């Protein structure tokens, strides 16, 4: 049976942002930081020889390259991110990893402190 698998790798990054919003505006407008947690999932079938969808070392290396554009950055200034919301962070990470030829199926970004979480699911 040729099963289809979903493989996931977690990571985190620390970054600053501001957020212009209609609600609770004061705190969000000042530059401040968060620890963001991320989880990237890739979907596919096993390679007959390696038994892998993709080597986790490759997935980790590609994530690290994208993580480096976010960690210890002011997210407002990251090219291609847009307003630094959880949704845009998910889309940014998914787009960057798909551009690196990874079969991304989902990206989740969350902040432990406030319990905020967002998950982007990409179509098959």
Ligand X SMILES: Nc1nc2c(c(=O)[nH]1)N=C([C@H](O)[C@H](O)COP(=O)(O)OP(=O)(O)OP(=O)(O)O)CN2
Dihedral angle, C-alpha 79, 37, 68, 20, nearest 10 °:
30
Write down the least CB distance from residue 24 to ligand X, Å: 6
Write down the least CB distance from residue 33 to ligand X, Å: 9
Q: Are 77 and 18 in contact (CB under 8 A)?
A: no
Interaction of residue 76 with ligand X, rule CB under 6 A? no
How many Å from the N-terminal Cα to the C-terminal Cα in the chain? Answer: 19
The span of 8-16, 43-51, 84-92, 93-101 binding ligand X (CB under 6 A) equals 84-92
Write down the least CB distance from residue 101 to ligand X, Å: 28
Handedness of CA 114, 60, 124, 75 (dihedral sign): positive
Interaction of residue 16 with ligand X, rule CB under 6 A? no
Q: What is the DSSP string of 82-95?
A: -S--HHHHHHHHHH
Cα 108 to its chain centre, rounded Å, is 6
Structure tokens at 7: 């493989």
Interaction of residue 27 with ligand X, rule CB under 6 A? yes
User: Nearer Cβ to ligand X, position 51 or 115?
Assistant: 115
The span of 36-44, 56-64, 92-100, 110-118 binding ligand X (CB under 6 A) equals 110-118
Residues flagged as binding site? 17, 32, 34
Residues flagged as binding site for Zn(2+)? 17, 32, 34
């Amino acid at each position: 049976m040729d099963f289809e698998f979903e493989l996931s790798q977690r990571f985190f990054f620390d970054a600053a942002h501001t957020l212009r919003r209609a609600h609770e505006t004061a705190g969000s407008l000042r530059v401040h930081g968060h620890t963001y947690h991320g989880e990237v999932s890739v979907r596919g079938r096993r390679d007959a020889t390696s038994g892998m969808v993709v080597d986790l070392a490759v997935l980790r290396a590609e994530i690290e390259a994208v993580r480096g554009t976010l960690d210890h950055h002011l997210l407002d200034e990251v090219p291609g991110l847009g307003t630094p919301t959880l949704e845009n962070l998910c889309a940014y990470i998914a787009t960057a990893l798909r551009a690196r030829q990874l079969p991304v199926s989902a990206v989740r970004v969350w902040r432990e402190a406030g319990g905020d979480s967002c998950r982007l699911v990409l179509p098959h």
